[in-house]
Amino acid sequence: MNTSIINQLREILGNENLFDSIEKRIAYVSDASRLTGSIPDAVARPTTTDQVSRILRAANSARTPVYSRGAGSGLTGGAVPVRGGIVLDLELMNKILAIDVDNMTALVQPGVVTADLQQRVQRLGLFYPPDPASSDFCTIGGNVAENSGGLRGAKYGSTREYVMALEVVLADGEIIRIGSGAPKSVTGYDLVRLFVGSEGTLGVFTEILLRLIPLPEHVETVLANFPKAAQAAAAVCAMFANRITPRAAELMDEGAVECVRRYKASSALPASGVFCLFEVDGPRPATIGDADRVVEICKSNGATLVKKAANDQEREHYWQLRRAISPALYTLGRVKLNEDICVPRTRLAEMLDKTQEIGRRCLLRIVNFGHIGDGSIHVNVMLERDDEELSRKAEQAVAEIFAAAVSMGGTLSSEHGIGLTKARFLGIELPEKEFSLMARIKNLLDPNGILNPGKFLDVGRPEKP
Ligand SMILES: Cc1cc2nc3c(=O)[nH]c(=O)nc-3n(C[C@H](O)[C@H](O)[C@H](O)COP(=O)(O)OP(=O)(O)OC[C@H]3O[C@@H](n4cnc5c(N)ncnc54)[C@H](O)[C@@H]3O)c2cc1C
C-alpha cells in the first residue's frame, strides 16, 4: 500500500486511531475461525460515519482492500484480511444512540456489543431477541453482516427479523440510508434484506435501526437427557405439533457432553446419552403450563431425566454448561472444523445420524450440538493435529456433510456465513444463475472489488465436488 494512503488515513483519523506499527497490525490477521490471512497495511479505527466515508473514498481511488471488523468473533474468517490493505475496526463506534420506548426501536452504532444492548433495553421492559452464544463480546454490526442467529432462533428468528433501517457507506464513500422506521413499509425493493448477511462485501453499516418487542413476563427452563439424539429431535417436532414454540431448544450430543464433562464438573450432565435445554416464555400461567407439557413430551419421547430449573441460579448453571461447549471442544483435538448446517426440523434425526456415519467411515471424530429448534446443527469435525492428510480427509467429510444437508432441503450455513471457510463449497448449494446474479449485484455496488475481497463470491462458483 502506498504511503499516500497512509498519509490520507492519518489526516482523517489522527495518529491515535490509526494503527500502522507491525505490533498492532499483526493482532488483526485472524478471527475466531483461527484462520490467518495477511498482515494488513493499516488498521483504521473510525469514530464517525464521515470518517468511514472518507476512508472508503480514499481506498476506492487507490484500489485498496477494506475489511470491516466488529469483535472478530466470526467463525468463517469473514473479518480476516487476505490481500493486505486496511482493516476497518468499528469497535469505537459503540454508542446506543436512541431507544424509543413507545415505538419499540433502538438506533445503534455498529460497534455496540450485543449483550450491552440486550441489557439496556431489558431495563426498560423491552426485548432484543437475537442471542448468539457470543453475545457477551460480538457486535451488532457483525451480527447484521452475518445475519446471526442464536439460542432463541426457534421462536424469534435471526437478526434479519429485527433490522428496520440501515445507514450504509458504499465502496466509493457515498452514504445511503435504506429501510424505514415505520412498522411496515413496502416502498421499493427491500434493500435492507439484501445488505443483511452481506458479510462486509457490499458496504459498511454505520447506523442500525432495530425493532424491539415487549419483554416476556416469564421464562421457564427445562433440562432433559435422552439416550439418543434422534429422540431429542423427535421431541422438538412433537412440541411444535402440540402448539408449543420453544424459544430455545439446544442439543449437546454424546461427544459434546463428554468434553463439557471433562472441562466443567456438573451433576446436571448425564453419564451417557445427550443433553438438551428447552426454554418457553410468555405470560406466567401459560408459560408454566407450557413447561409442564414440554416435560411430558420429553418423557413420552424417551427422556430418562427431565427437570425444570428451580430458580435463576440453576437456570444460569444449565446455560453455562451450554456456553462451555466451544472452548471445551478443544479438549478433544487441536483443530476443529466448525460447520453450521441447517435442515428442516423433520430431517434432523436423519442428518444427525448421517454426520456420525460419515465420521465413522472417514475415521474422524464428529461432535454435534446446536439450536435444533430451528433445525441448526453445529457439526464439529475434530482433528488431533494440524496435519495435511487429516485435513484433506476432514475436507472430504465436510463436503459430504454439506451435500447431505442440501439433499435434505437444508443449507450450508444457518448463521455463521460463508466467509473464507465455505467459499469453495458454494457450488453444492447455489445454482449457477443465482450465483451470477449475486456476482452482478456485487459488481454494481463495488466495481473495484475493494470490500472484503477474497471472500465468498470472489473465489468464483466452484462446481459440485
Ligand atoms: C464462542 C462463540 C459462539 C458463537 N455463537 C454464535 C451463535 O450462537 N450464533 C451465531 O450466529 N454466531 C455465533 N458465533 C459467531 C459470531 O459471534 C457471529 O458471527 C457474530 O455476528 C460476529 O460478530 P463480530 O462483531 O465479532 O463480527 P466480526 O467477526 O468482526 O465480522 C464478521 C463479518 O461481519 C463483517 N462486518 C463486521 N462489522 C461490519 C459492519 N459494521 N459493516 C459491514 N460489515 C461488517 C466483517 O467484515 C465480517 O465479514 C459465535 C462465535 C463464537 C466465538
Assign residue 400 the CATH number of its domain.
Answer: 3.30.70.2740
CATH of the domain at 125: 3.30.465.10
Q: Which of 281, 291, 252, 276 lies closest to 155 in space, CA to CA?
A: 281
In short, whether 30's Cβ falls inside 6 Å of ligand 1 is no
Instruction: Give 7 Cα–ligand 1 centroid separation in angstroms.
Output: 30
Give residue 317 CA to ligand 1 midpoint distance, Å. Answer: 25
Residue 54 and residue 7: Cα distance in Å, rounded? Answer: 13
Which residues 6+ apart lie within 8 Å of 207 measured at CB?
A: 49, 97, 107, 108, 109, 110, 166, 167
Instruction: Tell which atom from ligand 1 comes closest to the C-alpha of 148.
Output: 11
Q: Whose CA is nearest to atom 16 of ligand 1?
A: 74
- For the residues 241-269, what does the mean pLDDT come to? 91
Is residue 392 scored above 70 in pLDDT?
Answer: yes
208 and 104 share a domain? yes
Asked if pLDDT for residue 386 goes beyond 70, the answer is: yes
436 and 373 inside one domain? no
Has residue 465 been placed in a domain?
no
Q: Tell me, yes or no, whether 105 and 189 share the same domain.
A: yes
Model confidence at 446, in pLDDT bands (50, 70, 90)?
very high
- Ligand 1 lined by 282 (C-beta under 6 Å): no
CATH of the domain at 12: 3.30.43.10
Residue 465 has pLDDT above 60, yes or no: no
Of 45, 87, 146, 420, the one to substitute when testing ligand 1's pocket (max ligand atoms within 8 A of C-beta) is 146
Q: How far is the CA of 134 from the centre of ligand 1 (A)?
A: 8
pTM of the model: 0.95
Residue 464 lies in a domain: no
Residue 159 Cβ contacting ligand 1 at under 6 Å = no
Q: 179 CB under 6 A from ligand 1?
A: no
Statement: residue 225 has pLDDT above 90: yes
Q: Is the pLDDT of residue 53 over 60?
A: yes
Collapse the DSSP code of 218 into the 3-class scheme (helix H, G, I; strand E, B; otherwise coil) and give the result: strand
Determine the distance separating the centroid of ligand 1 and the alpha carbon of 146, expressed in angstroms.
6
pLDDT tens for 292-333 read 999 999 999 999 999 999 999 999 999 999 989 988 998 888
The total of structural domains in the chain comes to 5
Whether the CA torsion 159, 162, 167, 170 is positive or negative: it is positive
Q: What is the DSSP letter of 411?
A: B
Domain C-terminal end among 303, 326, 349: 326
Last residue of a domain, one of 44, 69, 89: 89
Q: Using the mean position of ligand 1's atoms as its centre, give its distance from the Cα of residue 301 in Å.
A: 35
CA 80 to ligand 1 center in whole angstroms = 12
Considering the domain architecture, whether residues 206 and 225 belong to the same structural domain is answered as no
Q: How far apart are CA 73 and CA 373, in angstroms?
A: 23
Average per-residue pLDDT for the chain: 95
Cβ(94) – ligand 1 distance below 6 Å: no
With a 6 Å cutoff on the Cβ, whether 281 touches ligand 1 is no
Same domain assignment for residues 78 and 162: no
Does the Cβ of 65 fall within 6 Å of ligand 1? no
* Residue having the nearest C-alpha atom to atom 37 of ligand 1: 142
Q: Is 341 in the same domain as 296?
A: no
> Does some domain include residue 421?
no
User: pLDDT tens digit string along 334-374?
Assistant: 888 999 999 999 999 999 999 999 999 999 999 999 999 99
Q: What is the pLDDT of residue 378?
A: 96
14: Cα within 13 Å, side-chain hemisphere: 5
Question: What residue owns the CA closest to ligand 1's atom 53?
Answer: 73
Q: Which atom of ligand 1 is nearest to the CA of 151?
A: 8
Biggest CA–CA distance in the chain, Å, is 69
The pLDDT, as a whole number, for residue 332 is 84
Between the CA of 245 and the centroid of ligand 1 the distance, in Å, is 26
Last residue of a domain, one of 309, 326, 343: 326
408 and 391 within one domain: yes
Residue 132 CA to ligand 1 centre (angstroms): 9
Structural domain boundaries, residue 436 = 426-459
In this structure, which amino acid lies at residue 384? E
Which helix (H) or strand (E) is 55 found in, with range?
Answer: helix 49-61
Question: CA 361 → CA 358, 365, 396, distances in Å?
Answer: 5, 10, 11
Cα(156) to ligand 1 centroid in Å equals 19
DSSP 332-394: T-SEEEEEEEE--GGGHHHHHHHHHHHHHHHT-EEEEEEEGGGTEEEEEEEESS--HHHHHHH
List, for residues 398-442, the tens digit of each pLDDT value. 999 999 999 999 999 999 999 999 999 999 999 999 999 999 999
223 in the same domain as 210? no
Distance from the alpha carbon of residue 297 to the mean position of ligand 1, in angstroms: 35
pLDDT on residue 461? 66
57 lines ligand 1 (CB under 6 A): no
